[in-house]
Amino acid sequence: MSFTPAVSETGDPLLLTPGPLTTSKQVKSAMVRDWGSRDAAFIRINRDVLETLPKIIHGEADFVAVPMQGSGTFAVEAMLTSFVPRQGKCLLLINGAYGHRAKKILDIAGRATLVHETAEDAPPDLAEVDRLLAADPSITHVFAVHCETTSGIRNPVEATAALVARHGRRLLIDAMSAFGALELDARVTPFDAVAASSNKCIQGVPGLGFVVCRKSALAETKGNATTLVLDLHDQADALARTGQYRFTPPIHVIVAFHQALQEFLAEGGVVGRGWRYADNARILIEGMGALGFTPLLQPHLQAPIIVTFHMPKDPAFVFQRFYDELKARGYVIYPGKLTVANSFRIGCIGALAAREMRGAVKAVEDVLAVMGVSLTAPRAA
Ligand SMILES: *Cc1c(COP(=O)(O)O)cnc(C)c1O
C-alpha cells in the first residue's frame, strides 16, 4: 500500500488532539532565544499579550487578563479559589471530566458546592438550574464549561449567563477549549471571569493559563485566595504595579504565545479561526460518516473543537492498533474519556486545515483496510 505519511513543517506527526496541538513553525521558532524576565523587550511582549486577550471577548473596556503560570487547570483553580469567597457557594454545571475537576478543586479549597449534572451527551437543564438558584439564596457563583472537551459538546453559556444574571449571581466560565474559536461576547453575555490557556485554540505551546476577569469583580476578591501562587488578585496587582510576575514566568511560552496571537489576529480572530475549525469538523464528520463511524453528539450540540466517535463493534477493530497505525501515517488521535459510551476522539483544532483533515480521513480508510474492518452495512442488492 502506498501511503505517504503526513508530517508537520518540523517532520512530526500531526496532533489531532485537544491541546497540546500542532503549532506553526513560526510559533516554535519564537522560542529559540534567551530572554531575562526583567528584560524590557520581554515585558513589552508580555504586556501586548495581556492587552490582546480581553479584546478577544470584546472586554477591553471592563476586563483585565491575569496570566497564571502552568497548564489550564492552574488557571481554573486560580479562578475558582480567587473568585468564590470562603463563605461562598458554587453551583457547578457538570457534563464531563472538566466539570468534575472543578468540583474537586472547590472541595479541596473547602468551598461549599452544589452540583447539577447531566449526561456527557446532554447540555444542562436550565429550567432545573433556574429552580436550584431560586431555592438556594446562599449560592453566590455558578461554574460552567463552554466546550466540555470530554465529549466535544458546546454548552449554552449565553443562556446560562442570562439566567445566572437574572438571579443576581456570578458566573465563572472554563472556556479552555473554546476561547478564540467560539464566540463569547462580554458586552452581551454577563460573567465575572473566563479561564483559558496558551495551548488550545490560540495555538501556542503549553505552559501559560490565563483568566480574563471583570475588573470590578476582581477588585472584590482580595483575601479570598487560599494559596499564595494561585492568588489572581495578588498576581494582577503585582503586574499592574511592576509589569512583572511575582514568580518566574514561562518566558519562552509567552513569547511563542505572542507569536500565536499575531497569527490568530491575521487569520481574522474568532471569526476566521472559528470558520476554519468548523470546516475541519465538517470534513471530519462527513468523511468518518462515509466510512461508517457515528459521532456521539447530535449535530446541534457538537462544537467544532473535538469530535467523539463511537468505537466500532467489529471485533477486528482494536483501538490500540488503530491508534498506532494512524500514528505511523502521521496522525495522532485521542482516546475516549467518556463514561456513557466506548469511544475515541479526533480533534479539529491546531495548525491544521482542510487538506490535513482530508488526509486524516484517508488515513483512517487505509487503516481500516489494513485491519480488515468493514463498518459500512452491505448495500441491498
Ligand atoms: C484542556 C482543558 C482544561 C485544562 O487542562 P490542562 O491539562 O490543565 O491544560 C480545562 N478545561 C477544559 C474544558 C479543557 O479542555
Name the DSSP letter for residue 299.
G
Pairing of strands 63-69, 208-214: antiparallel
Substitution candidate for ligand 1 out of 69, 145, 151, 174 with most atoms within 8 A of CB: 174
Cite the DSSP H helix spans in the chain. 25-29, 40-56, 72-83, 97-108, 126-135, 157-166, 215-219, 232-242, 251-266, 269-291, 319-328, 354-371
The segment(s) of the chain belonging to CATH 3.40.640.10 are 31-265
Transcribe 27-81 into DSSP letters: HHHTTSS---TT-HHHHHHHHHHHHHHHHHTT-TTTEEEEEEESSHHHHHHHHHH
- Which CATH number applies to 31-265: 3.40.640.10, 3.30.2270.10, 3.40.710.10, 3.40.50.10860? 3.40.640.10
The segment(s) of the chain belonging to CATH 3.90.1150.10 are 14-21+268-371
Residue 365 alpha carbon to ligand 1 centre in Å: 30
Q: Pick the residue with more confidence: 380 or 328? A: 328
Residue 98 alpha carbon to ligand 1 centre in Å: 7
Residue 118's alpha-carbon distances to 99, 115, 125, 345, in angstroms, are 11, 10, 8, 20
Q: Give the three-class secondary structure for 10.
A: coil
Asked if residues 316 and 1 have their Cβ atoms less than 8 Å apart, the reply is: no
- How confident is the model at residue 108, as a pLDDT? 98
Q: Which of 33-42, 98-107, 221-230, 299-308 has the least mean pLDDT?
A: 33-42
Query: Residue 101's closest CA among 88, 111, 92?
Result: 92
Please state the φ and ψ torsions of residue 143, each to the nearest 5 degrees: -115, 130
Please state the φ and ψ torsions of residue 360, each to the nearest 5 degrees: -65, -45
Residue 377 alpha carbon to ligand 1 centre in Å: 37
Cα distance between residue 240 and residue 244, in whole Å? 8
Pairing of strands 89-94, 141-145: parallel
What value does the mean pLDDT of the chain take? 95
- Measuring from atom 6 of ligand 1, which residue has the nearest CA? 72
Asked if residues 154 and 303 have their Cβ atoms less than 8 Å apart, the reply is: yes
203 lines ligand 1 (CB under 6 A): no
Residue 145's alpha-carbon distances to 295, 336, 378, in angstroms, are 21, 18, 41
Class of domain 14-21+268-371 as given by CATH: alpha beta
Substitution candidate for ligand 1 out of 147, 149, 157, 348 with most atoms within 8 A of CB: 149
- How confident is the model at residue 349, as a pLDDT? 97
Please state the φ and ψ torsions of residue 263, each to the nearest 5 degrees: -70, -35
Residue 104 alpha carbon to ligand 1 centre in Å: 14
- How confident is the model at residue 140, as a pLDDT? 98
Q: What is the pLDDT of residues 111-132, one digit of tens each?
A: 999 999 999 999 999 999 999 9
> Model-level pTM greater than 0.85?
yes
Residue 285: pLDDT over 90? yes
Q: How confident is the model at residue 219 (pLDDT cuts 50, 70, 90)?
A: very high
The arithmetic mean of pLDDT across residues 143-156, rounded, is: 98
